[in-house]
């Protein structure tokens, strides 16, 4: 069995998620036209296979941060157009609620059938007249929940209205599709209006869906354990070993890892000895490089948890701590907040206080501030405190 060094496994992880030696380079992407930037982001979505959505927006929304991490300060309007315009993508349940390339519609047939067999979602059985909703969309076009009385009954956020439950049920089973968000509200349309006929009627059986999604997940991981690969699209771990050969995966050994597999492309890339061109950037906690916490700790030696839903007095690293990637390593995590003309780093936790790590963190902060239109970077708390003066100097040195 081929043995891969942990350092090479880390390099592959960066390369396969588009954070190492990317083409076009970030500098070229930033100089490109808006149209070209839209094409770049669509290509990124195709390569990653899924971009997670999340409601939190302290610097930008996570789906914007995914593109920013790879290509720098490209236009946010170009990112949105790449995802939502011209029927190139749809939203469905993958790693979580994700934007997915339209060509992957047939691969999620197994999940739509699962929901259909289950007969309900976690909110219960839909009681709203489904035929009335279908008729409304057919007659008036795409709708949001506001068109049918709102998303909530008036209680807590999970206390959905009957209309919201019914629309989400039709989404689960594939009768409606979300191909756009307006004001962060999902827009529901009939699948027949959105999905091309060749994809809409491409009925793969469950095994074919799983094998294809395992292959897709492995391409994002490059080299990964069953848990790594399965987590990309939230598949059963046991399915990875069952479909590994069918998905074209190669068993490999990585020191300190459980059983693992690699893609032939990743092994070829390693064998070619490609030169590394590293990206320095702040990563969304929902970035494919770091979204599976076990893998993040195994590859980068950093234990990381999202603390947005942790009471403030119990948080260790901050509300939306973003790992800082520099020279192929995670050197810090920053909890940012935009406040007028300032980008506040409310808490910076340095994983390393070396001069290189401080420079990289300062560079990531300055670039992020410029992208969101902030004029200054303000450093609040730094851990360890002995690194504070050095980090502030590096931020100031860059203007």
pLDDT band with cut points at 50, 70 and 90 for residue 380? very high
DSSP structure class, residue 128: S
pLDDT exceeds cutoff 90 at 155: no
Helix (H), strand (E) at residue 97? strand 97-101
How many Cβ atoms from other residues are within 10 Å of residue 7's Cβ?
11
pLDDT exceeds cutoff 90 at 157: no
CA distance 144 to 171: 12
Whole-number pLDDT of residue 105: 97
pLDDT exceeds cutoff 90 at 149: no
Query: At a CB cut-off of 8 Å and minimum separation 6, what does 36 contact?
Result: none
List the Cα angle 339/341/345 in 5-degree steps. Answer: 50
Whole-number pLDDT of residue 159: 58
Concatenating the DSSP letter of every residue in 156-190 gives STT-B-HHHHHHHHHHHTTSEEEEEEETTEEEEEE
Mean pLDDT of 365-373: 95
Question: Is pLDDT larger for residue 156 or for residue 252?
Answer: 252
Specify whether the CB–CB gap between 76 and 60 falls below 8 A: yes
pLDDT exceeds cutoff 60 at 95: yes
Q: Is 231 helix (H, G, I), strand (E, B) or coil?
A: helix
pTM of the model: 0.94
Whole-number pLDDT of residue 330: 96
pLDDT band with cut points at 50, 70 and 90 for residue 218? very high
pLDDT band with cut points at 50, 70 and 90 for residue 127? confident
Please list the residues that pair with 322 across neighbouring strands. 334
Mean pLDDT of 174-196: 93
Mean pLDDT of 225-245: 97
Specify whether the CB–CB gap between 177 and 194 falls below 8 A: yes
Whole-number pLDDT of residue 309: 83
Mean pLDDT of 45-53: 97
DSSP structure class, residue 333: E
pLDDT band with cut points at 50, 70 and 90 for residue 153? low
Instruction: Tell me the average pLDDT of the chain.
Output: 92
Q: Please state, for a pLDDT cut of 90, what percent of the chain lies above it.
A: 76
Mean pLDDT of 30-42: 96
Whole-number pLDDT of residue 360: 97
Which is nearest to 97 in space by CA: 209, 166, 19, 172? 172
């Amino acid at each position: 069995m081929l043995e891969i060094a942990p350092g090479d496994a880390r390099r592959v992880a960066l390369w396969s998620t588009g954070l190492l030696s990317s083409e076009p380079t970030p500098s070229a992407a930033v100089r490109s036209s808006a149209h070209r930037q839209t094409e770049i982001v669509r290509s990124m979505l195709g390569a990653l296979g899924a971009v997670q959505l999340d409601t939190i927006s302290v610097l930008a929304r996570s789906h914007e941060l995914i593109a920013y991490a790879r290509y720098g300060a490209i236009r946010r309007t170009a990112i949105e157009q790449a995802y939502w315009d011209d029927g190139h993508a749809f939203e469905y349940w993958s790693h979580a609620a994700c934007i997915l390339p339209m060509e992957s519609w047939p691969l999620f047939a197994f999940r739509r059938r699962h929901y259909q067999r289950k007969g309900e979602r976690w909110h219960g059985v839909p009681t709203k007249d489904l035929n009335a909703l279908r008729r409304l969309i057919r007659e008036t076009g795409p709708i949001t929940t506001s068109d049918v009385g709102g998303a909530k009954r008036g209680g807590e956020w999970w206390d959905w209205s009957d209309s919201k439950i019914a629309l989400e049920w039709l989404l689960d089973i594939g009768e409606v599709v979300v191909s756009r968000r307006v004001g962060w509200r999902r827009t529901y349309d009939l699948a027949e209006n959105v999905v091309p006929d060749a994809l809409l009627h491409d009925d793969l059986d469950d095994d074919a869906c799983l094998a294809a999604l395992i292959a897709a997940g492995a391409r994002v991981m490059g080299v990964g354990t069953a848990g790594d690969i399965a987590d990309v699209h939230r598949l059963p771990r046991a399915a990875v070993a069952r479909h590994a050969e069918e998905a074209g995966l190669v068993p490999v050994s990585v020191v300190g890892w459980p059983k693992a597999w690699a893609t032939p492309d990743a092994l070829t890339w390693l064998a070619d000895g490609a030169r590394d061109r590293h990206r320095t950037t702040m990563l969304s906690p929902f970035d494919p490089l770091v979204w599976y916490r076990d893998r993040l700790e195994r590859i980068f030696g950093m234990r990381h948890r999202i603390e947005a839903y942790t009471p403030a007095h119990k948080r260790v690293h901050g509300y939306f701590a973003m790992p800082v990637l520099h020279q192929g390593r995670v050197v810090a995590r920053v909890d940012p907040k935009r406040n007028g003309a300032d980008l506040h780093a409310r808490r910076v936790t340095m994983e390393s206080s070396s001069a290189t790590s401080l420079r990289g963190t300062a560079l990531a902060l300055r670039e992020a501030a410029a992208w969101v239109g902030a004029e200054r970077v303000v450093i609040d708390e730094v851990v360890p405190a002995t690194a504070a003066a050095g980090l502030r100097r590096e931020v100031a040195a860059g203007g």
